[in-house]
């Protein structure tokens, strides 16, 4: 009974650690070149769409999928749902909770990147973009604006952008220093949730800055859990292994 974890997130890694000793395959898109130290088999790279994933599930005799990809990895989530329906195996979406708004937060929510581009000039002219390199093109051509852009690794950027390189987790003091140092007037972020990137939200609150919060795409229909513990319990029923699972402390 093999379980496929679609990962690339802290939750995916935590789940793999909790399932150590079970027959688990960890799958990563492989964009960052970062290889997490987790137990189980590892594979990297796209499957080749729904058809490729269906082939993979059959060839590897996968009996269940836990989709622990990022809340904004909508394409992978949709492919997993479709492929599992075709092959006839169960799938669970592990979706971390959204951040909660607290007093002092100045959030404006946008349904998608295009709406965020329309709203941003009303919030400030110097924006901190923490949305990943794939989405930058939406913003960088906005006139009379400049951007602080956080990237995982150096990349060529338009003249309107200044890059800082960093990998989560981040701390609030560093985020405050970066926003102050670059004269930031607004923060743009996906509503990712999770602890490792929350510091920028706290920093914006501390500095009284507006946050442009891009809403998540809805997950595909089907079961959703919000914690690794619930995902482990689901795996226990679908792996047909009655021995107890031990949850490590969250990393
Ligand atoms: P996406 O748009 O939903 O996926 C695009 C394609 O990448 C998929 O169709 C699939 O290619 C491949 N892919 C994605 N996740 C994969 C996985 N775990 N294993 C194998 N192939 C995968 O996803 P994305 O937004 O590019 O994110 C890629 C990865 O980075 C995900 O694993 C996600 O958890 C992680 N991540 C994303 C974000 C974000 O903001 N989007 C942030 C942090 C981490 P094929 O169609 O060829 O199978």
Tell whether ligand 1 has an atom less than 6 A from the beta carbon of residue 158: no
Atom of ligand 1 nearest to the CA of 32: 30
Nearest alpha carbon, ligand 1 atom 25? 73
Alpha carbon separation from 134 to 69, 110, 113, 119 (Å, rounded): 16, 18, 11, 19
pLDDT tens digits for range 21-55: 999 999 999 988 789 999 999 999 999 999 999 99
Which of ligand 1's atoms lies nearest the C-alpha of 132?
Answer: 40
CB of 132 sitting under 6 A from ligand 1: yes
* E strand spans, the chain: 2-6, 24-28, 41-44, 62-67, 91-94, 107-110, 126-130, 146-151, 161-165, 186-190, 211-214, 224-225
- Whether ligand 1 lies within 6 angstroms of the CB of 75 is answered as yes
Q: Does the predicted TM-score (pTM) go above 0.85?
A: yes
Query: Is the C-beta atom of 73 inside 6 A of ligand 1?
Result: yes
192 alpha carbon to ligand 1 midpoint, in Å? 14
Instruction: Identify which of 201, 196, 188 has the alpha carbon closest to the alpha carbon of residue 170.
Output: 196
Q: What pLDDT score does 31 carry?
A: 87
**Percentage of residues in the chain having pLDDT higher than 90:** 90
Burial class (CB in 10 A: 0-12, 13-18, 19+), 106: middle
- Ligand 1 binding pocket mutation candidate from 57, 73, 78, 84 (most atoms within 8 A of CB): 73
As given in the structure block, the two tokens for residue 200 are 């920028």
CA–centroid distance, 50 to ligand 1, in Å, is 13
pLDDT single digits (tens) 102-151: 999 999 999 999 999 999 999 999 999 999 998 999 998 899 999 999 99
> Does residue 242 surpass a pLDDT of 50?
no
């Amino acid at each position: 009974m093999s379980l496929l974890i679609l990962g690339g997130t802290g939750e995916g890694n935590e789940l793999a650690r909790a399932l150590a000793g079970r027959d688990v395959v960890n799958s990563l898109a492989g964009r960052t070149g970062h290889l997490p130290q987790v137990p189980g088999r590892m594979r990297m790279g796209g499957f080749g769409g729904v058809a490729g994933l269906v082939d993979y599930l059959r060839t590897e005799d996968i009996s269940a999928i836990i989709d622990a990809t990022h809340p904004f990895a909508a394409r992978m989530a949709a492919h997993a749902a479709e492929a599992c329906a075709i092959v006839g195996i169960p799938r669970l979406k592990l979706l971390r909770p959204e951040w909660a708004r607290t007093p002092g937060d100045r959030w404006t929510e946008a349904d998608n990147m295009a709406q965020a581009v329309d709203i941003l000039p009303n919030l400030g002219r110097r924006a901190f973009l923490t949305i990943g390199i794939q989405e930058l093109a939406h913003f960088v051509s906005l006139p009379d604006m400049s951007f602080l852009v956080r990237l995982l690794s150096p990349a060529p950027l338009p003249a309107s952008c200044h890059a800082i390189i960093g990998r989560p987790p981040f701390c609030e003091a560093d985020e405050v220093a970066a926003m102050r140092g670059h004269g930031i007037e607004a923060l743009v972020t996906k509503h990712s949730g999770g602890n490792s990137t929350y510091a920028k939200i706290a920093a914006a609150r501390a500095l009284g800055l507006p946050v442009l919060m891009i809403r998540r795409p809805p997950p595909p229909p089907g079961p959703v859990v919000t914690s690794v513990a619930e995902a482990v319990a689901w795996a226990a029923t679908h792996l047909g292994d009655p021995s107890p699972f031990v949850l490590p402390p969250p990393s």
